[in-house]
Structures are given as structure tokens and as C-alpha cells.
């Protein structure tokens, strides 16, 4: 699911219309990959998706209540499960997706649309059965978005030589999310055997990562309605410049990598993911994960190489592969920074809000949380989603949307 090389496009994405799913994904994978994150504030680096592509979304209703109740690991895992369920159906292929902490979004060519809808329904059914979450799910075409004057455009960012993440621009993803929350384009959760998504590789064995510089800051900046693209891009660039002064641009994961705890705090969450795939009783899945996590703990603690797996190399690539900053019709960051830098970012965002450029949300906490998707531990294309451990994106988004609600027009 991750790109191993930085390539140049031979044809535009629009040329994939009428081709096979393999052709469409190949063209997406051939889009140029940006290595300078700051360039992604420029809309010119984005490429419109073909009109017949499917946009899929998922969002946990009342996620802030779940986080407040201490279920932040489960919230992040369900969000990542949407991505894992699709990636496991098209192994070693890249596709556009974004992790939002309490939800996710993706795009797929029309030939893969039935699979995408089925994956959404399966994850929603599993989330309900395993955690009691109501996962809103929806799907619509890019053409349906484009008919409203918005767009779904993508760019690819190389977090490392082995992994790239998709950024979204054009307002289409935000529009689709708003429609989903109104009940439009809704899909139904699966039941019974159909509610068993393939969540192989979705693991949660690392301990929360404490802030090294004072605070883990969750940042969400959304463009205000009808704001000039250049004005929002300028504010985003200024926020990124403030973050750029921090070690590793504020990446919350230290160079040594996170600590693997045992017994893992995510044992029950991972067991529920394993049980979804295997259909085995939850108690048996817990025993299996208990033993596996102990072995993993010993391997990482003592640096034991197992076949092609080298724990030292895995840790090094893990750090580089982390997904802690993104554009998805707005700017979303999880930063390890000093209180002074957090104050500076808050001040700049407040000024931009007063000028009518953005609606922003900030949330401060003491630690970050990592959710991992590892298709094969011996490869370097494993991905690691980072969020604040005590509210994170869900809390920041709640603040941003509260501010946006009076000014933002109803979708339609």
C-alpha cells in the first residue's frame, strides 16, 4: 500500500477513465512524490481524480465521548481499520487514503468501488459488535462532488523512501464528510459473517509516547467558507514554518523509536481485530495476542534478528514512516513541541480566525499514540498513524467545527 520509489507521471490520472483498476492505480502510483512537506500548501501540486472514482468516508459518531471515557486506542484502531481492510484486498498497491484519528477517507477507481463499499460496511459492523461504536459510513463519486463546484485532488508526500501518504485538496473530501454527517450517501453496517473485515497487520503494541519538548499539540486548521486559496495556503505555510523550527519538524516519535510495552495496553483492542479476521472466540484471540506480544517484546528488547526481520532496522524505518502531518482539505498536525511554540501556533491561528481565513482547533496533551499497519514486518513499507493520546484530532476537530458551524453553509 506504500510507494517504494519517487517517480514521474507518464500520463495524467484522467487517462485512467475506462481503463482497468490496475491501470488506474498504476497511474496514481506514478504521480510525482513531494519530499518537501511545505510545498503541499500549494494547490498547484495537486492532481484531480477521475470523475468515476469512488470517495469513501468513515467517522465515529460521538468520538469525543469515547475518548473521554478512555477508549482513545480503540477509536484510533477503528479509524485505521478502514484503511487496513482495503489495503489487505489490494496488497502491495498504493491508493489514496487519509487517517483522521476518529475516521478515515479514501478514493478508489470504479472497478474497486464494490470492494470499497463492502470494506466500509464490514468495518462498521465490526466496530459496532466489538466496541459499541456507531461508525458513520458513506460513499459517492468524484463526479457527484464536482457537480457542487468542489473537487477531489490528490498529491503524494514521501514520508520516507519507502512510504508515501496522500494529501487531499479541492474541498471535496470535507464536503463529502459534511454530507455524510447529514445522513446522505449512507451505507449500512454489515452483520454476522459479513462483519469480519480482514484486519491483518493492524497492531497496537507500542506504549503511548511521552512529549519530549513539553506538549503534544494536535492542530487542525480548516479554510473558512469562500476564503481565497492563496490566503489559506499562506496561513498553513506560516504554521508549518513555526513547526519547522522544532527538532524533526515536531515529529512525536523519537529517533530511538517508541517503547514496546508488555503486557501491551492495546491487547484487548488487537485481540478484537484478530477475532474479526479469524472468527475465533475473543478469549482465544487474547491468549494468542498475549503470547505474540511477549515474543515481540523480547525481540525488540534484546535486538534479536528473526529471519529477514531486524528489529533495529524496523525501528529506524518506523520513525521515518510515521504519519504525523497531512493536508485533507485543511491542515492536520500532531506535534511534539514546547509550550512556547504551541502558544505561537495558537496565536497565529487566532489571528487568522479573526481575519476570517480559517477555523482552527488545538488540543494539548502529554503523550502521543501510535496505531500501526504492518502488512509484512520484514518489509519497509509499514505505516504508522500518530494521534494525540488524550483527545488528539477528535478534540481539535470538535473545537474547529464548533467555530465553523455558524459561518459554514449547509452542504448542497
Residues 6+ apart with CB under 8 A from 112: 21, 54, 89, 90, 95
Instruction: Dig out the grid coordinates for 77 from the structure.
Output: 484502531
pLDDT at 385: 97
Please spell the DSSP secondary structure of 312-376, one letter per residue.
HHHHHHHHHHEE-EEEBSSEEEEEEE-HHHHHHHHHHHHHHHHTTSEEEEEEEESEEEEEEE-S-
Element (H, E) at 220: strand 215-223
- Please tell me the distance from the alpha carbon of residue 113 to that of residue 385, in angstroms, as a whole number: 24
pLDDT at 18: 53
Query: Is residue 363 a part of any domain in this protein?
Result: yes
Element (H, E) at 385: strand 383-388
Q: How many residues does the chain have?
A: 412
Query: Is residue 313 a part of any domain in this protein?
Result: yes
Query: Is residue 277 a part of any domain in this protein?
Result: yes
Residues 6+ apart with CB under 8 A from 191: 125
Instruction: Dig out the grid coordinates for 298 from the structure.
Output: 523480547
Count of the separate structural domains present in the chain: 1
pLDDT at 286: 85
Query: Is residue 410 a part of any domain in this protein?
Result: no
Residues 6+ apart with CB under 8 A from 168: 46, 96, 98, 105, 152, 153, 154, 327, 328, 329
Of 320, 341, 12, residue with least CA distance to 165 = 320
The boundaries of the domain holding residue 253 are: 13-404
pLDDT tens, the chain, 412 aa long: 543 322 333 345 655 555 677 788 898 999 999 999 999 999 999 999 999 999 999 999 999 899 889 899 999 999 999 999 999 999 989 999 999 999 999 999 999 999 999 999 999 999 999 999 999 999 999 999 999 999 999 999 999 999 999 999 999 999 999 999 999 999 999 999 999 999 999 987 888 999 999 999 999 999 999 999 999 999 999 999 999 888 788 999 999 888 887 777 778 888 888 887 777 788 888 898 888 888 888 998 888 999 888 988 999 999 999 999 999 999 999 999 999 999 999 999 999 999 999 999 999 999 999 999 999 888 899 999 999 999 999 999 999 988 876 554 444 4
- Please tell me the distance from the alpha carbon of residue 59 to that of residue 101, in angstroms, as a whole number: 9
**b/e string for 190-226 if b means 16 or more Cβ within 10 A?**
beeeebbbbbbbbbbbbbbbebebebbbbbbbbbbee
Query: Is residue 6 a part of any domain in this protein?
Result: no
- Please tell me the distance from the alpha carbon of residue 128 to that of residue 117, in angstroms, as a whole number: 17
Query: Is residue 409 a part of any domain in this protein?
Result: no
- Please tell me the distance from the alpha carbon of residue 109 to that of residue 141, in angstroms, as a whole number: 10
Amino acid at each position: 500500500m506504500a510507494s517504494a520509489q519517487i517517480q514521474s507521471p507518464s500520463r495524467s490520472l484522467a487517462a485512467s477513465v475506462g481503463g482497468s483498476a490496475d491501470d488506474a492505480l498504476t497511474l496514481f502510483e506514478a504521480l510525482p512524490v513531494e519530499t518537501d512537506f511545505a510545498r503541499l500548501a500549494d494547490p498547484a501540486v495537486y492532481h484531480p481524480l477521475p470523475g468515476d472514482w469512488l470517495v469513501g468516508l468513515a467517522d465515529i459518531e460521538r468520538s469525543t465521548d469515547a475518548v473521554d471515557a478512555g477508549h482513545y486506542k480503540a477509536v484510533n484502531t477503528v479509524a485505521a481499520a478502514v484503511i487496513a481492510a482495503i489495503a489487505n484486498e489490494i496488497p502491495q498497491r498504493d491508493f489514496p487514503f487519509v487517517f483522521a484519528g476518529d475516521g478515515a477517507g479514501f478514493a478508489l477507481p470504479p472497478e474497486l468501488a464494490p470492494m470499497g463499499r463492502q470494506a466500509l460496511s464490514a468495518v462498521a459492523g465490526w466496530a459496532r459488535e466489538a466496541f459499541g461504536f456507531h461508525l458513520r459510513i458513506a460513499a459517492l463519486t468524484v463526479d457527484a462532488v464536482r457537480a457542487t463546484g468542489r473537487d477531489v485532488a490528490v498529491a503524494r508526500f514521501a514520508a520516507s523512501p519507502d512510504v508515501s501518504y496522500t494529501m487531499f485538496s479541492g474541498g471535496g473530501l470535507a464536503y463529502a464528510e459534511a454530507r455524510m454527517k447529514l445522513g446522505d450517501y449512507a451505507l449500512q453496517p454489515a452483520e454476522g459473517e459479513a462483519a469480519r473485515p480482514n484486519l491483518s497487520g493492524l497492531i497496537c503494541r507500542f506504549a503511548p509516547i511521552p512529549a519530549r519538548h513539553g506538549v503534544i499539540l494536535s492542530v487542525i486548521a480548516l479554510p473558512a467558507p469562500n476564503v481565497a486559496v492563496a490566503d489559506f495556503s499562506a496561513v498553513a505555510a506560516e504554521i508549518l514554518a513555526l513547526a519547522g523550527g522544532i527538532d524533526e519538524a515536531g515529529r512525536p516519535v523519537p529517533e530511538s523509536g517508541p517503547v514496546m510495552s508488555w503486557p501491551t495496553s492495546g491487547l484487548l483492542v488487537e485481540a478484537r481485530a484478530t477475532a474479526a479476521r479469524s472468527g475465533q472466540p475473543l478469549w482465544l484471540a487474547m491468549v494468542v495476542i498475549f503470547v505474540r506480544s511477549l515474543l515481540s517484546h523480547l525481540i525488540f528488547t534484546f535486538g534479536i534478528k528473526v529471519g529477514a526481520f531486524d528489529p533495529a532496522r524496523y525501528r529506524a524505518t518506523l520513525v521515518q514512516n510515521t504519519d504525523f502531518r497531512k493536508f485533507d482539505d485543511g491542515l492536520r498536525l500532531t506535534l511534539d513541541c514546547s509550550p512556547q511554540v504551541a502558544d505561537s501556533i495558537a496565536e497565529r491561528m487566532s489571528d487568522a480566525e479573526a481575519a476570517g481565513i480559517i477555523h482552527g482547533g488545538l488540543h494539548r496533551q502529554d503523550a502521543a499514540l501510535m496505531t500501526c499497519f504492518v502488512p509484512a514486518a520484514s518489509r519497509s513499507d509499514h505505516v504508522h498513524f500518530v494521534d494525540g493520546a488524550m483527545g488528539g484530532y477528535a478534540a481539535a476537530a470538535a473545537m474547529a467545527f464548533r467555530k465553523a458551524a455558524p459561518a459554514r453553509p449547509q452542504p448542497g
